[in-house]
Chain A
Amino acid sequence: MRIASHPVVQFSRDKKIKFYFEGKELEGYEGETIAAALHSAGIKDYHYSPRLNRPRGFFCAIGNCSSCLMEVDGVSNVRVCTEKLIEGMKVQRQQGKGILKP
């Protein structure tokens, strides 16, 4: 959910862009991170832990903790909290450690 009006900040939501989450078309805004766009769509579980399959999501927001890793455009272990959303991106939940392509 997005903040409609805020007493201090004015959010620049200029350009809407489309991206895909597990095949489903979603919308975000240019200039925001993938995590922000997912959060606005109510998606909070980003990957499942390798051994115990526990849901994991956002924690630190600034790229330090590795809790938010997802597969983006076929690349595993992308920190969606800092990665900018680009038009047409394909985002998937990651299972475990993901696969590193050569």
Chain B
Amino acid sequence: MTLIKTGVPSRNELMTVTPSRERLEKGPVVIVECFQEIPCNPCETACKQGAIVVPNMNDIPRVDHELCNGCSLCISKCPGLAVFVVDETYSSSEALVKIPYELLPLPQEGDTVTALDREGEAIGEARVLKVQDRKQQDRTAVISLAVAKDFSMKVRNIKTRG
């Protein structure tokens, strides 16, 4: 089952955008979950490291994970909310996952929230480490979550509690 049939990228599709295990173990890195040729390139415009390149605006973004330093500027720029940053070096048991978020109420730092996968299914808890909502993000907040390391490639949304 693929993205255009279900709205959920398949494992094969995800493999095309996932950084190498080696790179993931070095520090924060971007994962651009964008799989179609659509006319769009704000991710390229946002990246100061030149790590995201969209040669023709209809190309699928090409990411050089080695050039990416995980700065996360691109997360709030993607109109499709398809950009995430994962840091598997956060701790021995947890990974840090940064997601774009445009719902109210925004969670508070320190909150425990329900972690959701790409199908909106609850797969455990996440701790909210940071909520960034600066003016230049233009109302797309970026939430940093601590999740169980096993779920670093699964958690892509949250549900706030209460």
Contacts and interface: CB of A to CB of B under 8 A. Distances in A.
Direct contact of A and B (CB under 8 A): yes
Nearest to A4: B104
Contacts, number: 8
A6 B102 CA distance: 9
Nearest to A9: B139
Contacts of A6: 104
A53 interface: no
A8 interface: yes
Contacts of B103: 7
A5 interface: yes
Interface in B75-128: 102-104
Contacts of A8: 102, 139
The secondary structure that dominates the B interface is loop
Contacts of B139: 7-8
Contacts of B104: 5-7
A88 B103 CA distance: 37
Interface string A49-70: 0000000000000000000000
Nearest to B141: A7
Interface in B28-61: none
A75 B102 CA distance: 43
A53 to B, nearest CB: 41
B120 to A, nearest CB: 18
Contacts of A7: 102-104, 139
A8 B139 CA distance: 6
Nearest to B103: A7
Nearest to B133: A7
A52 B22 CA distance: 70
Interface of A: 5-8
Interface of B: 102-104, 139
5 contacts: A5-B104, A6-B104, A7-B104, A8-B102, A8-B139
Given A5-B104, A7-B102, A7-B103, 5 more contacts: A6-B104, A7-B104, A7-B139, A8-B102, A8-B139
